[in-house]
Structure 1
Amino acid sequence: MIKDKKKYQVLVVEDNLGDYVLVEEYLEEMIFEPKIFRSENFKETKVLLTENKSYFDVILLDISLPDKSGEQLISEMMEVAGHIPIIVLTGYVDANFAIKSLNMGVSDYLLKDEMSPAILHKSIVYNIERNKNIVKLQESEQRYADLFQLSPQPMWVFDLESLEFLNVNQAAVQHYGYSLEEFMRMTIKDIRPKEEMEYTDNLLISTRKDNPKHLKVILNHVKKDGTRIRVEAHSNAIEFMGRRCRLILINDITAKLKYLDAIEEQNEKLRDIAWVQSHILRAPLSRMMGIIAMIQREDLELNEIKDFLGHITNSAYELDEIIKDVVKKAQHVILKDQQRPS
């Protein structure tokens, strides 16, 4: 028989020497050079797992130890074992207790009388690999929780059917003014303007039907103090707490839109100034061009030329005043925009 060549470190928590020797033989029959450690009671096990910082791939736990047993033993072992999978070994057939121990977090439940080298090895391999996946999932969930809570932008999760808020990050609490407890008693309709409920209902009906993976919409939201804001809402389909939900990320674009409106208003005013003044500019400029053309075409006396030059000078001064007025009005528009509250 080909033995498993992986380097397993197994902690056997067993006070009965005969049962320990049997487990040791089973392990050595299926695994090539397993590293087996033994403790005879909970106190000794706790030292191995905490004070000595020992690491094990799996713990084989006898459910009846001299200093602890049953549910209390499982509960306290779960605390000190951390992420190490625990396989309970017992000589008693109790289906209810087996189910309860699994619910408490143990990885497997084996009867000593029915155990064999193959059964024990299979349980160890399966539960070590299963535990790795569970740890990865927990780490992934923790990263998600960290990203969710540390996001500088408001985020929440809501139930697509009941519309209840199921999770809300701190940025949303600060931005909208509701406490977390208040959010948890609300639905997403509570932050939408009442006059837009028909649009909200239609959007929700469409989202429930198609449940798109990603959706981006521009909406009006209302803060606790009644302030209305314009937001860009990014929505992703997720399953949360066993429910069909949407994860929402909010980008408040109110200030951006106000700024763009102000720029457009400023540009419109500048266009108006340019249009009006361009017509005023044409009058002195046209006179100057006409006089210059006459001087070039006619054989004029010196005194006539002086008269024409006087008209040109007057038109030039008039043109200069018009240009100054254009600049002054343009500067006034720009200054007014700079003084606008952000």
Structure 2
Amino acid sequence: MSLPDKSGLELVREMITIAENVPIIVLTGYVDANFAIKSLSMGISDYLLKDDLSPTILFKSIIYNIERNKNFVRLQESEQRYADLFQLSPQPMWVFDVETLEFLNVNQAAIGHYGYSQVEFMRMTIRDIRPKEELEYLENLMDSVRKENPKHLRVIVNHLKKDGTLIRVETHSNAIEFQGRSCRLVLAHDITAKLKYLEAIEEQNEKLRDIAWIQSHILRAPLSRLMGIVDLIQREDMEMDETKDFLKHLTNSAHELDEIIKDVVEKAQQIPGQNYYSPG
């Protein structure tokens, strides 16, 4: 720890720069607890005293620090993979503090979808993306999360974009520790378009049910009269005046049937995505 041109913390600092990811063991004859603690906090792997040194101690220190460094490198690689998955996810994701509700990290998908910049998100809490009328529900939910700390939580809520657009979102969150704080990692899926599609389908089905009822009930009345009148004309030996009366009833029933068909066609044309040919 004492060389002609460098010594102490300056030497430690430069060795760490040169060694990069290689573990460093400090071997010194000076007993200084504060210096040892400072060296270890800077990134030194071990701190050995010459007076206490033996082949066994040195061997164990070298093997231990090599293996520990391997684990550290694997941990860094794992963290990097998770960071890549977070940032490259096509779905909005963020990390927030369970106590303060502050955003601690957001991915590019969240920035693009909600319209806030990274800097803006870091100044916000999750309250800022919720409608005012739902803040009480949010506080109650977070009280429950703090008490129970569920590993996984799924909720469907309303969110607000920066431009004020209200969206319906399905969120999945997991409990994690981030920057030494109790947090939750959230994945948000915008289901606004999906719900609108389902509403349109339900509206379409309702109109189809209405049309089906018309066809099965209202159409039967004039059609039954038409069939009955035709049957009478064919079977009875009628006078001309009677035949004219039946033909008049036949014409009226035909006009009534035509009006009902037009109404059915009009209702069918109001259904999105449906094209019907209208006679006349």
TM-score in terms of structure 2 length = 0.84
Structure 2 residue corresponding to 1:88, chosen from 18, 21, 26: 26
Query: Judging changes above 3 Å, is the alpha-carbon distance between structure 1 residues 79 and 293 closer, same or farther for their aligned structure 2 residues?
Result: farther
Name the SS for the 1:200 alignment partner.
helix
Structure 1 residue corresponding to 2:192, chosen from 233, 254, 268: 254
Q: Deviations over 1:85-121 (max 9, x none)?
A: 1112223333222222111111111122321110001
Structure 2 residue corresponding to 1:163, chosen from 77, 101, 106: 101
Number of the residue aligned with 1:242: 180
Structure 1 residue corresponding to 2:220, chosen from 282, 285, 309: 282
Name the SS for the 2:271 alignment partner.
helix
Task: Give how far 1:324 is off.
Answer: 5.8
TM-score in terms of structure 1 length = 0.70
Over the aligned positions, Cα root-mean-square deviation in angstroms equals 3.1
Q: How many residues align?
A: 273
Aligned equivalents of 2:251, 2:164: Cα separation in 1: 62
Number of the residue aligned with 1:265: 203
| Identity fraction in percent | 75
Number of the residue aligned with 1:76: 14
- Partner amino acid, structure 2, of 1:98: A
Aligned equivalents of 1:275, 1:186: Cα separation in 2: 54
Gaps of 5+ in 2: 276-280
Query: Judging changes above 3 Å, is the alpha-carbon distance between structure 1 residues 222 and 323 closer, same or farther for their aligned structure 2 residues?
Result: same
- Partner amino acid, structure 1, of 2:202: E
Number of the residue aligned with 2:62: 124
Number of the residue aligned with 1:7: none
Task: Give how far 1:292 is off.
Answer: 5.8
Matched, 1:137 2:75: yes
Number of the residue aligned with 1:192: 130
Matched, 1:219 2:157: yes
Number of the residue aligned with 2:278: none
Higher deviation after alignment, 63-72 or 73-82: 63-72
Aligned residue runs from structure 1 range 144-183, under 5 A: 144-183=82-121
Name the SS for the 1:334 alignment partner.
coil
Aligned equivalents of 1:73, 1:316: Cα separation in 2: 106
Q: Deviations over 1:201-250 (max 9, x none)?
A: 11111111111100100111111221111111111111111111111110
Task: Give how far 1:76 is off.
Answer: 3.0
Task: Give how far 1:274 is off.
Answer: 3.3
Aligned equivalents of 2:18, 2:227: Cα separation in 1: 98
Conservation of the 8 A alpha-carbon contact between 2:207 and 2:267? no
- Partner amino acid, structure 1, of 2:85: L
Aligned equivalents of 1:327, 1:215: Cα separation in 2: 48
Aligned equivalents of 1:215, 1:231: Cα separation in 2: 14
